[in-house]
Amino acid sequence: MNTTFILGLVILAIGVLSVAFVRPKTYVARLINLEIPAWGLLLVMLAYDEALAILTFVAVTAIGTFVIVRLLEWRDASC
Amino acid sequence: MIAGLEVAFGLIALAGAVSAALIRDSYGKLISLGILVAGVLPFIVDRGYLDVAVTVSLIAPIATIFVLMVARREES
């Protein structure tokens, strides 16, 4: 099997487990852990030669992180 | 890619992922995320997608800066 595919699947599994069982149970730790499976999924997409999908996925992940960060700041300010 | 380089960058990416999952400090998590990106990026370059590599290297630090704002606010 392809090295990129295997490495992507391993990083994806590590990231999903770390998001599910996050140790300091805070929103920030979970948000940072959420970026780990994104890189694993990027490697899996790379194994299938989907350049446009990778570009879109990276951009949307960054925008999604920005939205969640704004949401966390708003939630902390409100309570 | 050369087999030795492939193993080395794969190990760097794995070390970044495992340490980002296990470290409890927010700043430590962000630094480990940088190591993970550094391990993943050579695989993108090896495939020949230089446009994807440029986009990833520009966007990954921006996402880190966004998370850094929340981490600093949480600490204070």
ipTM associated with this complex: 0.89
Tell me the per-residue pLDDT of A3-19, one tens digit each, with 9 for 90 and over: 999 999 999 999 999 99
Average confidence (pLDDT) over B27-40: 93
Tell me the per-residue pLDDT of B48-72, one tens digit each, with 9 for 90 and over: 999 999 999 999 999 899 888 888 8
Rg of chain B on CA atoms, in Å? 14
* Domain extents in chain B: 3-75
Residue A31 token pair:
């948000």
Chain A residue with the nearest C-alpha to that of B1: A3
Closest CA to B26 of B60, B72, B59: B72
* Chain A interface, best mutation among B25, B66, B72, B75, by max A CB count within 10 A: B66
A5 in B contact zone (CB under 8 Å): no
Question: In one letter, which amino acid is A79?
Answer: C
Which domain covers residue A9, as residue numbers?
Answer: 3-78
- Chain B contact set for A59 (CB, 8 A): 55, 59
Tell me the per-residue pLDDT of A10-57, one tens digit each, with 9 for 90 and over: 999 999 999 999 888 888 899 999 999 999 999 999 999 888 999 999
**Overall size of chain B counted in residues:** 76
